[in-house]
Structure 1
Amino acid sequence: MNFLTLDLNLLRVFDAVMAERSITRAADRLALTQPAVSNALKRFRETVGEDLLTREAHGVRPTPYAERLWPQVRVALARLRDAFEPQEFDPRTASANFRIATADASAATLLPSVIAEIEQSQAQVNLRVLPLTTRDPRGLLERDEVDVAVGYFPEAVAALVAQGDDASLRHRRLHQSEYVCVMRRDHPLAKEPLTLDRFCEAHHLLVSFSGRPHGFVDQALIAAGRSRRIVLTVNQFFTAGRVVAQSDLLTVLPASFVDATGYRSAVVERPLPLRLARIHVEMLWHLRHDDDPAHQWLRSRLVEAAQLLVSGRPAS
């Protein structure tokens, strides 16, 4: 490819199609006709000498080559845009709507601080929290169904780290915690050390976003040649706290969330009698929003909320 003869407008078209995953939506975004976008993509494909997209029922799917190329193109376009049109976001005068995918544990611990900032600064910002039904939110972000995902996503983050700068998603660690066993304050096991035998003999409540009847604890138990009986599976941490506070079931919750359940006076927490990896709460977002000033504002507020959580200071 001869860079000197490259039509830079083709990069704008390529970027829009990659962000929208649809020629129709990209055409609307660029104020072009669909044939014009299709023709530009054809010219770009001929220029780079590689296939870029394959058509699907509801849009287009990038080839591996396009996925590797897009991050570099997007960064270059962002730098050019900032050079000619520096962008700012004033939340007091510019409105914005954001979709955050997160579990109720992260919502309860982080969003009070974010809402306090919105109210105090009179920001024209609206948030919509969507429930997580998976431990891997990459599909939600790729399909632009959410703007930010917050939670514990070990497999997704490991994959992004492996991809490095070629990844179409970005991530940032907000804080870390650990799992603890939670039971009602007058539970028989609250009066004695929680051994592995006692833990396995008890009846349990599992929090599972996907509804699967097993989780991290069960994987660790299987590795140790043990098992437990799960009497109830729910998809919310708040529900788990409510049920455990009024029953003999045990559950496993992030330590950082126990205070946010509102059941602190009714429950106690005990160290788990088996080793689990620490919880790394991450924020994930798509490259398409990486340089957007409004999205940068939101991500900064979430980082600040996590810092307040770690320091133990309440939202002011």
Structure 2
Amino acid sequence: MHIPNINSIDLNLLKVFDAVYREGNVAAAARRMGMSQPAASHALARLRHALGDDLFVRSARGMLPTARAEQVAGPIRQALGYLELGLQSHVFDPATSTHRFSVALDNCSAIALTARILSGVSQAAPGVSIHLRPSGTIDVDGMMDASELDLFIGRPGESRERFCSQVVSSDPFVVVHPGHSNSLDGVMSVEELVSTPHLQLSSTGDDTSFLDAWLEKQGLKRTVQHSVPLLGYTSELRQKDLLVVMRRPIAEVISGDGGLSIRQLPFASPLVDTCLRWHRRVDTNPAHVWLREMIGSIVARVGTAKDSSLA
């Protein structure tokens, strides 16, 4: 394998490589870099010579990376990410900053927290922009490694040394059903649980088999009539006499539109943790610390409001 001399490689060549790797197209990479396409092509040619590899091969799907390019893409992206962080100011002023954050959320967090996060950012940091995206369609860890994602909000994942995490909420399950109260209104009886058909949410990733196990110990069984996605069940629920067992943060939001009520289960519900997850390299970065503290305080206020409704 050709081993290049690091002194012969211009930092700008690595930035062009990273842009081409991300875009899969030299012209798009050039636009991303704010340079002409011939200049980007020339830079790529210089890096090919320095590394002794073609790096990218033209195809109908764009510029496909070679095995060597795949090998160096991760280290180059991480090195550029560390350099960018190192050059950033050690002081973050939310009132004047124009920083842009990218945050991924799971379904439950997206429903329960999106409006609150946007409101909190707008009030504390009017020049800051935040890009919220669903976590179910992306490689969260890979994007954090590539410095393309600042933070994940959702259920705890597999513990990995290069990531940090913090549990910010532990929430029980409740029962949502047609009604006119949007606050926790007593305990649902066992008879209601088994006599009324249930909707099962198919897109939250939550396992509600704990309810079936508890009912089985009582010699009882519920009827799950339909299984539907989280975003498509409210009209069905309002029109029919059905129940849905879901995490309380989702229930609090969807019941606020009226026509739905929340009841507690007739036994102690298991708790589901919501955590913040970020790459260890940004652990002490002032901008990221501010973002995590702000979101953590928002979740804490939501939890306090919900707990007071139980009093």
TM range (shorter): 0.5 to 0.7
* Structure-2 residue corresponding to 1:205: 199
1:137 aligns with 2:130: no
Q: Which amino acid aligns with 1:270?
A: L
Counterpart CA distance in 1 for 2:175 and 2:25 is 47
Equivalent pairs, count: 288
Structure 1 residues 236, 175: closer, same or farther in 2, change over 3 A? farther
Structure 1 residues 284, 244: closer, same or farther in 2, change over 3 A? same
Deviation at 1:233, TM superposition (A): 2.0
* Structure-2 residue corresponding to 1:33: 36
The match for 2:228 among 211, 229, 233 is 233
Instruction: Kindly name which structure, 1 or 2, has the bigger radius of gyration based on alpha carbons.
Output: 2
Identity between Structure 1 and Structure 2 (%): 24
Structure 1 residues 51, 58: closer, same or farther in 2, change over 3 A? same
Deviation at 1:254, TM superposition (A): 1.2
* Structure-1 residue corresponding to 2:8: 6
* Structure-2 residue corresponding to 1:255: 248
Q: Which amino acid aligns with 1:25?
A: A
1:191 aligns with 2:189: yes
User: For residues 160-187 of structure 1, what are the alpha-carbon distances to aligned partners after superposition, in whole Å with 9 as ceiling and x for unaligned?
Assistant: x56x65xxxx674553535625144999
Contact 1:205 1:251 in 2 (8 A): yes
Counterpart CA distance in 2 for 1:220 and 1:66 is 50
Q: TM-score, normalised on structure 2?
A: 0.61
Q: TM-score, normalised on structure 1?
A: 0.60
Structure 1 residues 55, 184: closer, same or farther in 2, change over 3 A? same
Structure 1 residues 89, 111: closer, same or farther in 2, change over 3 A? same
Deviation at 1:205, TM superposition (A): 1.6
* Structure-2 residue corresponding to 1:270: 265
User: For residues 202-250 of structure 1, what are the alpha-carbon distances to aligned partners after superposition, in whole Å with 9 as ceiling and x for unaligned?
Assistant: 522233449xxx974479979x9x995333624338x54x765774322
Structure 1 residues 76, 94: closer, same or farther in 2, change over 3 A? same
Gaps of 5+ in 1: none
Counterpart CA distance in 2 for 1:295 and 1:59 is 34
* Structure-2 residue corresponding to 1:177: 170
Contact 1:54 1:61 in 2 (8 A): yes
Counterpart CA distance in 1 for 2:290 and 2:105 is 18
Counterpart CA distance in 2 for 1:172 and 1:101 is 14
Contact 1:104 1:236 in 2 (8 A): no
Deviation at 1:268, TM superposition (A): 0.6
Match runs of 1:61-72 below 5 Å: 62=65, 66=69, 69-72=72-75
Structure 1 residues 79, 181: closer, same or farther in 2, change over 3 A? closer
* Structure-1 residue corresponding to 2:182: none
Gaps of 5+ in 2: 180-184
